[in-house]
Structure formats: C-alpha cells, structure tokens
Amino acid sequence: MNKLFHLLLCIPFVSFSQKQVSDTWFEDAKLGIFIHWGMYTVDGTSESWAFHNKTVPYELYMKQMTGFSAENYKPDQWAALIQESGAKYCVITTKHHDGLSLYDTKIRTASPKKNTNWTPKLPLSTVYQSPCKQDLIAPLFAELKKAGIHTGAYYSLLDWSSNDYPGFLKDSSRYQIKDDLARWQRFLDFMHGQIEELASKYNPDLYWFDGDWEHSEQEWQAAKIDSIIKFYNPLAILNGRLKSYGDYDTPEQNMPILHPDKNTWELCLTTNDNWGYRPQDKNFKSHFDLLSIFTECLNMGGNLLLDIGPKADGTIPEEQVAILQEFGRWTKKHATAIYGTTAGLPDGHYHGSSTLSKDSMTLNLFVPSPQGPQLNSIPLTTRIFIKGLKSKPQSVQLMGASTPLVVKEVGKISWSSVPGTLFIDIPISEMDKMISVVEIKFNEPIQLYRGKGGFH
C-alpha cells in the first residue's frame, strides 16, 4: 500500500504537503497518444496476431506490404493534431511482432522466413520493402519535437519473421535456447542492434517495449538493452515491459481498481475495439466515456495513453480526429486541473475523481455533466458534496464560468473538531458539456479528517 495512504488510514488528520513528487516530465504529462501503424492496415487485419493465430496465412499477411503506400502521410498534420489534443507525448510503433520496421533500419535478420512478398537480401523496412519507400518515423519525430511533444518508440522485442526467433505460429514447436545458444545469440545481436539504431538515430524520450512475456529477463539480456539506451540518453524512460528495468507500470485497456505497483503508471487504451485500423470497427468509445476514464487516471495519479490507428495511406479516421479535437477542447479549458497535478483525494471524501496541485493548496473536483436525453423538468442545478475537509476553502469556482457557486456546510457541531459536509450547487447551464471542474482553493496545504466521527 502507498505509504501516504497508509498514514491517512491510521491518523485522524494529515497534510497532503507530505507527499513526495517526482520531477520527471512523464508524471506531469498526463496524456499521451499511441499510434499503431503498419502493413496490417492494408487489409484491416489484426496487427501481427492475424498470422500468429492462423486467421490469415503468413504469406497473405506479408503481402500487405505491397499496398502500404502512405501516400497521404503528413507528419506535420499528425503532430499538430496531437498537440491540439493536449497530449504531451506520443508513442508510435517502430516495429511490431511481424518484423516490419517503419524506420530506416540497416540491420537484416540473418535467418528470414521464406516469403515471396519481400526481398530477404534487404532489411525488412518500409524503406526497402513497401511502395512508400521512406522512413516514416524520422519526419514524425522531427515534427513532434518542434511542437514540444516528447517522443516515444514502441518496439517489439520478439520478431515472428526471423527464423532465429523461437516461435512463429501459436502452436509452433519452439527450440530450447539452451540447446542452440548460437541461434539465440544471432537473434539477440539483431534485436539489440535495432534498439541501438533507434537510440543513436532517433533518441526517443521513451521506449515502449512489447513481447517481453515470452522470455526471462536474463534471456532477453535486459540489462544490456537498458545500458544501450542509457548510453545514448541517460534520461530515457522505459515502460514496464522490460521486466525489472521498467520505470512505470502499463495496464492495458482495463482501468485498475487498486493502484499499480509502481508509483508512476499509464493506462493504454484503444478509442474503439482495436489498436490498428480496422474499417469494420465502428465501435468507438464516446467522448464522455473517454474523458471519464481520463479523469479517473488523473485521480489515481496516472497517465492515459490513448490509441489511434491511421489508415494505410496515412490518413487518420475522422472519428479519431474528432476524439482528439474534443480532448483538446477539454484539456485547454481545464489545464490547471490536469497537468502537473498529483493524485486526488483518498476514498471516502468525494464520490468522484479529483486532483491536487503540487503545493496541495488547490483541489479540483471532476463533475460529470448530465448526458443523454433531457426532459424539460431537468433541475437547474446539480449538487455534489465533499466530506472531511479540515481546511477551510478560500474560494470555490466552476472552471470556465463566472457565477459564484453556492456552498453550504452541513453537520458541523461547535463542540466537535470533526468537519461538516460541504454541499456545492452547480448551475447546469454553465457546466461543461462533458465533465466540469470545481476548483477549490485553500490558504494552506489541505488538511483532511480521517477519523470515525463523533468526538474524534
């Protein structure tokens, strides 16, 4: 259990000014954009897993490279949209499990799979094996850096297009590494070499590894991977999929109930049901649902890495453009409640998500706005309440509105030190169309009551 929260449960009053806060850019970023892009977008198959799980033959899957044109790819527009969303970092797939690199790798696997749809004498890269004939990562990183957005490189540790890797299909008979150390070393040389290319040529701020589940830390030689990266960039951040060398936890799709093991964490989430572009997948999450999940991440002190899947020609689906634009509208309006904040109140004080400023003198309450059909009889205000505030609010304001909020304290007894419950009325007409923020300022670091009531 987090030490601070343990203290909160054991003593009646505690100051949030005791909280330890890291100075890394990642903890303050709060929102990142994930980009899954590759040959799988041509036919709209599942990325790499299509042939691994035998839903599509390997030859047919790899043939998609011949249609991966990226003719409408405009990295400056991508970067502008990401910046507009309010995201502070972007992670893109530089190489998925299928082995196709989206950057100009010079390293060729020593034992490629037999395939008539690509030339094994050349590196398996979009530069040499696809009609786009270009490095797709370098121009995007350049535009992201110009926009002040931190760069992240997704890289698959495993490679299902290399015969040196022990596993190709789901039911493949795998060679034992101990029985063929030379073969495994050839694969490690290839994989470590590609990571060094990424580090030396592109210098990402963040590395997002995947596929680590198939081997141990020792077999991957994770210590060597870490040393390669830190040689070129000692400040580089690694996600939690390089075993013990990960800097933060990465739950996927499902919002955690308990705080992840590491203090720093990130939820990676699709905007519809798939990571990469699938033309038949129109099950997009609503703007309200996505923003609600985002505020819950903020409440638990985490980040949201929200995924988009561009089409093979380089255009981003209009639904995902709209989602990022709505995030931009909302994050711009409520920036001080998002960036550089810490986790919100512990359970029991407010029935919703919240954040705290680093000096613990501002509390931000996220209030979902009424959604769905509304009748004429809908009330003019919505009421929230917050319990256990030892500190007295200096001001209570609805972000983006000018009307003062009505606040009433209920249950305060003169002879007891237990604080009352604050009820706050919010005019619905002035609420944000998705989620509003009530900003409560104090003239001291917030003090909370954590007792059992009565005379305590």
* pLDDT tens digits, one per residue of 172-225: 677 888 889 999 999 999 999 999 999 999 999 999 999 999 899 999 999 999
414 or 81: whose pLDDT is higher?
81
Q: What is the residue whose two structure tokens read 């977008």?
A: 41
- Max Cα distance, the chain (Å): 85
Q: CA 292 to CA 366: how far, in whole Å? A: 9
User: How high is the pLDDT of residue 175?
Assistant: 82
Q: Give, for 93, the enclosing helix (H) or strand (E).
A: strand 89-95
Angle between helices 75-85 and 137-146 (to 10 degrees): 40
Q: Could you tell me if 93 and 36 are in contact, meaning their C-beta atoms sit under 8 angstroms apart?
A: yes
Please check the confidence at residue 368 and state whether its pLDDT lies above 70: yes
Q: 171 or 302: which carries more pLDDT confidence?
A: 302
Q: How crowded is the C-beta side of 219, counted as CA atoms within 13 Å?
A: 18
Higher per-residue pLDDT: 376 or 163: 163
Side chain identity at 143, as an amino acid letter? E
CA–CA distances in Å: residue 229 to residues 8, 125, 200, 245: 39, 21, 9, 11
One DSSP character per residue, 250-267 reads --BSSPPSSPPSSSSBEE
| Topology given in CATH for the domain delimited by 25-337 | TIM Barrel (3.20.20)
Predicted local confidence at residue 16, as pLDDT: 38
Q: How confident is the model at residue 144 (pLDDT cuts 50, 70, 90)?
A: very high
CA angle 148, 150, 156 (to 5 degrees): 150
CA distance 265 to 19: 17
Confidence of residue 376 (pLDDT cuts 50, 70, 90): low
The whole-model pTM stands at 0.90
Domains of the chain, residue spans? 25-337, 344-449
2 pLDDT higher than 70: no
Cα–Cα distance measured from residue 349 to residue 352, given in angstroms and rounded to the nearest whole number: 9
